[in-house]
Amino acid sequence: KAGVTQTPRYLIKTRGQQVTLSCSPISGHRSVSWYQQTPGQGLQFLFEYFSETQRNKGNFPGRFSGRQFSNSRSEMNVSTLELGDSALYLCASSLAPGQYNEKLFFGSGTQLSVL
Amino acid sequence: AQTVTQSQPEMSVQEAETVTLSCTYDTSESDYYLFWYKQPPSRQMILVIRQEAYKQQNATENRFSVNFQKAAKSFSLKISDSQLGDAAMYFCAYRSRTGNTPLVFGKGTRLSVIA
């Protein structure tokens, strides 16, 4: 069974541009979560999607948005990039959120550098 | 809001020896999960071990075991017979079993294994 796939692995953008990151969950998984990882702030929750609906959202500005498609694949978009958006963006999938034995499986992330 | 604290930014251990990574958390809830995740240089977060708060018995997974002290809100990870492949960042994480809440991560501990 293929794992969580994130594309691209690396991305370099300049301030003011926008970027779209993609996440394909494990087959059969319907829940996708996104996290931002930086050396200073650690791992911070961005948002969670289940069956194309956003279930939860972290404390990030409106420049960060996401969506989930009918095949459970998810994208996140960051508009008007700032230097502080440079980070590793991790995606995690699970069968469904809130289940007793829920397990999250993470991808290898997209490393975004904003110049 | 729940918080997770890892007080050891870096640790080192000799190969074949035992090391303990510390984690404390703050919550007013009684029903929750605790996790240890490993992040090797490949960047993929890998679940090492999970503990349900209602279980008094400490979880074990081969060479990995935890010391869960609910009253003290402490959740340490013990790695026995350390191997070179154990070198990685280790993150402690918390998730409530109730409500619609994401994983809350600590800042991580970088573990080095010395041959």
Q: What are A69-96's pLDDT values in tens digits?
A: 999 999 999 999 999 999 999 999 988 7
What does the pLDDT average to over B20-42?
94
List Cα–Cα distances, A93 to A4, A21, A23, A32, A52, in angstroms: 7, 15, 9, 4, 13
Q: What is the pLDDT at residue A99? A: 63
Judged by a CB distance cut-off of 8 A, whether residue B63 touches chain A is no
> Running DSSP on this structure, what letter comes out for residue B4?
E
Share above pLDDT 70 across residues of chain B, in percent, rounded to a whole number = 99
Cβ–Cβ of A97/B103 closer than 8 Å? no
Question: So what's the pLDDT on residue A2?
Answer: 77
B45, B46, B55: best mutation site toward chain A, by most A Cβ within 10 Å?
A: B45
Q: What is the pLDDT of residues A5-28, one digit of tens each?
A: 999 999 999 999 999 999 999 999
Nearest neighbour of B105 by CB, restricted to A43, A97, A108: A43
What Cα–Cα distance (Å) separates residue A111 from each residue in A63, A76, A89, B21, B42?
18, 13, 6, 27, 12
Find the mean pLDDT for residues B47-70. Answer: 92
Q: How confident is the model at residue B99 (pLDDT cuts 50, 70, 90)?
A: low
Which of B44, B48, B49, B110 to substitute to test the interface with A, most A CBs within 10 Å?
Answer: B44
A100 pLDDT more than 60: no
Q: Does A45 touch chain B (CB under 8 A)?
A: yes
| Interface subset of B 3-62, CB within 8 angstroms of A | 37, 42-47, 50
In chain A, residues 71-110 whose CB comes closer than 8 Å to chain B: 88, 90, 92, 97-98, 100, 103-109
Residue A64 has pLDDT above 80, yes or no: yes
User: Model confidence at B56, in pLDDT bands (50, 70, 90)?
Assistant: confident
User: Which residue in A95, A106, A111 sits closest to A12, CA to CA?
Assistant: A111
Query: CB–CB of B51/B34 below 8 Å?
Result: yes
- The answer on pLDDT for A49 being more than 70 is yes
What share of chain B has pLDDT > 90, as a percent? Answer: 81
Confidence band for B1, pLDDT divided at 50, 70 and 90? confident
pLDDT, mean over chain A: 92
Amino acid at A76: M
Q: What is the 3-state secondary structure (H, E, C) of B41-81?
A: CCCCCEEEEEEECCCCCCCEECCEEEEEECCCCEEEEEECC
Q: Is the pLDDT of residue B115 over 80?
A: yes
Whether A109 sits inside 8 A of B43 (CB atoms) is yes
